[in-house]
A and B are shown apart, each in its own frame.
Chain A
Amino acid sequence: MTRFVVRRLALAALVVLGVVVLTFVVARVVPGDPAATWAGPRARPEQIEKAREELGLDRPIPVQIAEYVGGIASGDWGVSLRTRRPVLDDIGRRAPASIELVTFATLLALAVGIPLGLVAARWKGKIPDVGSRLVAVVGVSMPSFWLAIVLQLVFFQWLHLLPVAGTYDPNLDYTSPLHSITNMPIVDALLTGNWAVFGSSLQHIILPAIVIAAYPAGVITRMVRASVLDTIGEDHVRMVRALGFPERSVFGRFALRHAWSPVVALLALVFAYALVNTFLVEAIFNRPGLGSYAADAIGALDTPAILGVTLFVAVVYVIGNLLVDIVQAVIDPRIRVS
């Protein structure tokens, strides 16, 4: 098992290196002269040359790559053109809230997707199956930014049931201010026993979580259905039936355990995609987080910030895949050998 983990770690590190290099490539695709941009619109030729030297653009490409990689590794991810702060700092402050949102959404997606997938498999071909598959297709085809606005329209504007935007009721900043520890509102509220903010945060997270959970829920439903149906046809399920187990055990106790592995495999993908979806959704819900930071950066053509966020999410994805591989090996003893 240890050898398995070590091998996967080494592979992940290699991929991260490749990711950093690719980000460098993207950065160099920027049209125009970065030195000129840095020096400003009224710079004289000598100033542009000086900027070029400062930015290290006059050195050979491999050296630039090495410097870039070294910078990334030591925490220098550039400075945001918009906030004038180190990009890594910005990301560190904004990411936790998004991670909280995405975690919520992922849990919601699992809570909806797994039962729906099981129902679809159990009653394959009948109405529950068709219904689940319809719901799954809807989830997977929904543009998140549109769903966000529509939900705001329905639940806030017309039904007045849920708040339209924000992380929690802003008035609470006066009556019951939140003490930030982790920068995750709900977690902080729990940790500090701030129930007013806790309740309000939960109310405010419902709509964004539903929007972000839509795509993963669809994907998970299909995966569980396919996986359970695959398993049901296999020899060991036939054996279990021949041993006298009832259908509900066959699906529930035996087949479902086999579906966990592919679902876990999906989790990294789902988490990363959800994180990218926050770019579209957080601004609509006026929630400060990594997503709205990225959206702002895109609007302001803040290249260092855009690339920093890209790198960050990619690394999260690689780490996520690594963790998922390990969990899968724990669940399914056959994987440790391969």
Chain B
Amino acid sequence: MTGTMTGAKLSLQDLRIAFGPRRVVDLDRLELATGEILGLAGESGSGKSITALAVLGLASTLGARVEGSVRLDDEELVGAAESRLREIRGSRISMIFQSPVSSLDPLLQVGELFERTLRLHGVRKREASERASNAFREVLLSVDLLQRYPHELSGGQAQRIAIAMALALRSEVLLADEPTSALDVTVQAEILDLLRRVREERGMSVLFISHDLAVIAELCDRVAVMQLGRIVEEGPTARVLGEPEDEYTKRLVAAVPKIGVQA
């Protein structure tokens, strides 16, 4: 069955990713609607991260083979020309990662990275500075931080900067790979808040990858649960986590420690 459902921003179909003879992802269908925050839950090794990289066409840099379909609006990305993919990376689909400080080039000031990236995507110099400053304000960071080096930043600041980059580039889709897993709980809450705002104010669609069901419950509209490369259950967050149908999902939910409840 081909073709996207109308309204789906990002649509993955029959996506198979393999390293040599070993298949790590075998996905029938996954769709992210416009303005939706979709959670992708699962344990380490379930294939969540490589799926996100495959959306951007970056799985091959790790030596993986990708087959199937990834559509952004109505454009097919699998097999698309590298030059087209490079246009899309950043400017239409952005990705943020688990270790925000180490994701920023340590030898560059934050502002330099912004400028280079914006210029790469065709933004003129003066507009680039403006966009950077505006984006920083949107994520509630002082514009001074543009002069800093990554090692001078906290995890929370760096992650905000990564999100600011997506905003400055006017991305429509944000792939967030465990963005809060390495952050303190209070900082985590701020980032989740920020993501909510970004969705409301910009209509950005977010694919939120995490092993932490509590965070997913907090943030995501819908959730898909991945196990060993396959999606075992999918649906509105409240339903999936409250009344899981699949065995694996039930085990995951049961394993989440609950405050105030002693086993």
Tell me if A8 is interfacial: C-beta within 8 Å of chain B: no
**In the complex the two chains form, what is the Cα distance from A77 to B146 in whole Å?**
54
Verify A244–B58 contact, CB threshold 8 A: no
Interface centre among A235, A239, A240, A258 (most CB of B within 10 A): A239
Residue interface mask B89-105, A partner, CB < 8 A = 1? 11100110101001111
Question: Please, which residues of chain B bring their CB within 8 A of the CB of A337?
Answer: 151
Verify A257–B107 contact, CB threshold 8 A: yes
Question: Please, which residues of chain A bring their CB within 8 A of the CB of B61?
Answer: 241
Residue ID in chain B nearest A261 by CB atoms: B107
Interface centre among A234, A241, A257 (most CB of B within 10 A): A241
Tell me if B56 is interfacial: C-beta within 8 Å of chain A: yes
Question: Please, which residues of chain A bring their CB within 8 A of the CB of B169?
Answer: 243
Verify B97–A244 contact, CB threshold 8 A: no
The A142-200 residues at the B interface (CB cut-off 8 A) are none
Tell me if A331 is interfacial: C-beta within 8 Å of chain B: yes
Given A333-B107, A334-B151, residue A244 in contact with residue B120 (CB < 8 A):
yes
**In the complex the two chains form, what is the Cα distance from A6 to B150 in whole Å?**
26
Residue interface mask B151-166, A partner, CB < 8 A = 1? 1000000000010010
**In the complex the two chains form, what is the Cα distance from A240 to B95 in whole Å?**
10
Verify A245–B106 contact, CB threshold 8 A: no
The B99-131 residues at the A interface (CB cut-off 8 A) are 99, 102-107, 117, 120-121
The A229-280 residues at the B interface (CB cut-off 8 A) are 234-236, 238-246, 254, 257-258
Report B21 CB to chain A, min CB distance, Å.
Answer: 19
Verify A241–B151 contact, CB threshold 8 A: no
Verify A236–B90 contact, CB threshold 8 A: no
Residue ID in chain A nearest B102 by CB atoms: A235
Residue interface mask A297-332, B partner, CB < 8 A = 1? 000000000000000000000000000000000011
Verify A242–B90 contact, CB threshold 8 A: yes
Verify A332–B106 contact, CB threshold 8 A: yes
Verify A246–B86 contact, CB threshold 8 A: yes
Verify B103–A239 contact, CB threshold 8 A: yes
**In the complex the two chains form, what is the Cα distance from A337 to B58 in whole Å?**
34
**Number of chain A residues whose Cβ lies closer than 8 Å to a Cβ of chain B:** 20
**In the complex the two chains form, what is the Cα distance from A240 to B162 in whole Å?**
11
- Interface residue SS majority, chain A: helix
Question: Please, which residues of chain B bring their CB within 8 A of the CB of A334?
Answer: 106, 149, 151
Neighbour of B102 across the interface among A236, A246, A254, CB < 8 A: A236
Interface size class of B (residues with CB under 8 A): 20 to 34
Tell me if B190 is interfacial: C-beta within 8 Å of chain A: no
Question: Please, which residues of chain B bring their CB within 8 A of the CB of A245?
Answer: 86, 117, 120
Verify B105–A240 contact, CB threshold 8 A: yes
Neighbour of A258 across the interface among B91, B107, B151, CB < 8 A: B107
Residue ID in chain B nearest A236 by CB atoms: B105
Verify A242–B94 contact, CB threshold 8 A: yes
**In the complex the two chains form, what is the Cα distance from A238 to B82 in whole Å?**
16
Given A239-B97, A244-B87, residue A234 in contact with residue B107 (CB < 8 A):
no
Residue ID in chain A nearest B89 by CB atoms: A244
Report B15 CB to chain A, min CB distance, Å.
Answer: 18
Tell me if B88 is interfacial: C-beta within 8 Å of chain A: yes
Given A235-B97, A238-B58, residue A243 in contact with residue B107 (CB < 8 A):
no
Verify B105–A241 contact, CB threshold 8 A: no
**In the complex the two chains form, what is the Cα distance from A242 to B117 in whole Å?**
11
Question: Please, which residues of chain A bring their CB within 8 A of the CB of B162?
Answer: 239
Question: Please, which residues of chain B bring their CB within 8 A of the CB of A239?
Answer: 95, 97, 103-105, 162
Interface centre among B87, B99, B103, B104 (most CB of A within 10 A): B103
**In the complex the two chains form, what is the Cα distance from A236 to B104 in whole Å?**
5
Verify B89–A241 contact, CB threshold 8 A: yes
Report A22 CB to chain B, min CB distance, Å.
Answer: 38
Residue ID in chain A nearest B99 by CB atoms: A235
Report B114 CB to chain A, min CB distance, Å.
Answer: 10
Given A235-B102, A334-B151, residue A242 in contact with residue B58 (CB < 8 A):
yes
**In the complex the two chains form, what is the Cα distance from A157 to B263 in whole Å?**
89
Report B66 CB to chain A, min CB distance, Å.
Answer: 15
Verify A331–B89 contact, CB threshold 8 A: no
Verify B106–A243 contact, CB threshold 8 A: no
**In the complex the two chains form, what is the Cα distance from A239 to B102 in whole Å?**
9
Neighbour of A242 across the interface among B95, B105, B150, CB < 8 A: B95
Verify A254–B117 contact, CB threshold 8 A: no
Question: Please, which residues of chain B bring their CB within 8 A of the CB of A238?
Answer: 58, 97, 103
Residue ID in chain B nearest A237 by CB atoms: B105
Residue ID in chain A nearest B94 by CB atoms: A242
**In the complex the two chains form, what is the Cα distance from A316 to B103 in whole Å?**
39
Report B262 CB to chain A, min CB distance, Å.
Answer: 39
Question: Please, which residues of chain A bring their CB within 8 A of the CB of B105?
Answer: 236, 239-240, 254
Given A234-B102, A236-B103, A246-B86, residue A241 in contact with residue B58 (CB < 8 A):
yes
6 nearest A-B residue pairs (beta carbon): A244-B89, A244-B90, A243-B90, A239-B103, A235-B102, A242-B95
Q: A239-B97, A242-B95, A245-B86 are in contact. List 5 more A-B contacts (CB 8 A).
A: A235-B99, A236-B106, A239-B95, A241-B61, A242-B90
A contact set with B: CB distance below 8 Å: 234-236, 238-246, 254, 257-258, 331-334, 337
Would you mind naming 29 contact pairs between A and B with Cβ atoms under 8 Å apart? A235-B97, A235-B99, A235-B102, A236-B102, A236-B106, A238-B103, A239-B95, A239-B103, A239-B104, A239-B162, A241-B61, A243-B90, A243-B94, A243-B120, A243-B165, A244-B87, A244-B120, A245-B117, A245-B120, A246-B82, A246-B86, A254-B105, A331-B107, A332-B106, A333-B106, A333-B107, A334-B106, A334-B151, A337-B151
